[in-house]
Amino acid sequence: MGNPTPQPGIFALGTRYHHHLEFDVDDDVATAAVVAALQHGLDSAPVSGGAANVVVGFGPALWQRLRDGRELPGGFEDFAEVSGRDGHRAPATQHDIWIWVHGGGVDGVLDAAVAVSAALDAVASLAQECASFVYHDSRDLTGFVDGTANPAPVEAPAVACIAPGAPGAGGSHVLTQRWVHDLASFEALPVADQERVFGRTKAASDAIPDRPTTSHISKAEIHDADGEERPIYRRSTAYGDVGERGLYFVAFSAEQDRFDEMLAQMYGTGGRPERDRLLDFSRAVSGSYYFAPSLDDLIAVGIVPA
């Protein structure tokens, strides 16, 4: 047998329009009905001809049901609230199913999102929805480039996906969070101070050599005991309107505990003396962990992707 194949939408680049849907499965719904609804949704979504990419992820409880006793990926657990320094917190809003639709046109993406949601309506409730977009040259609404340190496309699968031979091989642990920005306060800072908050220059996204230990990149980068970076693969996008603007954060990893360590550093938990200064200007309002199985594991539970 060959190596399991990851869901290709995780790595599909160049798409400017994104739609995230998170569902809670009704308690009395049979597992077979969930599988049938998901299959119908994927069959109904206009993904042929490159209209949209669809990625499917599952919360721990539902994935355990679908796997029917077969071994789960190591360390896969519900998102737990993070209570950090100075009253900052990352709330837990764990749901059962996450659907990420993205493509080159807002019409095709919306059509696919509506089709999937309609198919799941009989078995699940839509708990959270966020339409997002690539802002200018992949910048966050703060004006800083998002994902500068992402692994190169050829390296991304090894960062994002569980290695062959391990439970869940070819699949990926996923962290989703919606962040609301206080742009008025952030934009009131001189650009030099904004750069010290992020640890990068605003125009060119170069790391500043004297960045504070409280800068975002200082806190968001994690390392092992030997000092080697433990990278994650980010696919975050901006969202918002005149009233509220922010970031829908999405990241993939071969190990869930990389996210735990990153959040602990950002929030200054576990005896850490400092937190990420960016938390003064952006707050998380949701948080869930999902597992995006390989195509092979989706087929094994009865879901055949388009």
- How many Å apart are CA 210 and CA 184, to the nearest integer? 26
The single residue of 96, 146, 260, 297 carrying the catalytic annotation is 146
How is residue 293 annotated by DSSP?
Answer: -
Q: Closest Cα partner for 57 from 199, 172, 170?
A: 172
Q: Report which secondary-structure segment, H or E, holds 103.
A: strand 97-103
* φ and ψ of 260, to 5 deg: -60, -45
Read off the DSSP letter of residue 90.
Answer: E
User: Using a CB cutoff of 8 Å and minimum separation of 24, what contacts does 202-206 make?
Assistant: 202/143, 202/144, 205/144, 205/145, 205/148
Neighbouring-strand partners of residue 17:
103, 133
146 counts as catalytic: yes
Residue-wise burial string across 55-67, b where 16 or more C-beta atoms lie within 10 A, e elsewhere? bbbbbbebbebbb
Closest Cα partner for 281 from 215, 211, 203? Answer: 215
Cβ contacts of residue 167 below 8 Å, gap of 6+? Answer: 71, 72, 73, 74
Q: What is the CA radius of gyration of the chain?
A: 19
Q: Which residues are catalytic?
A: 146
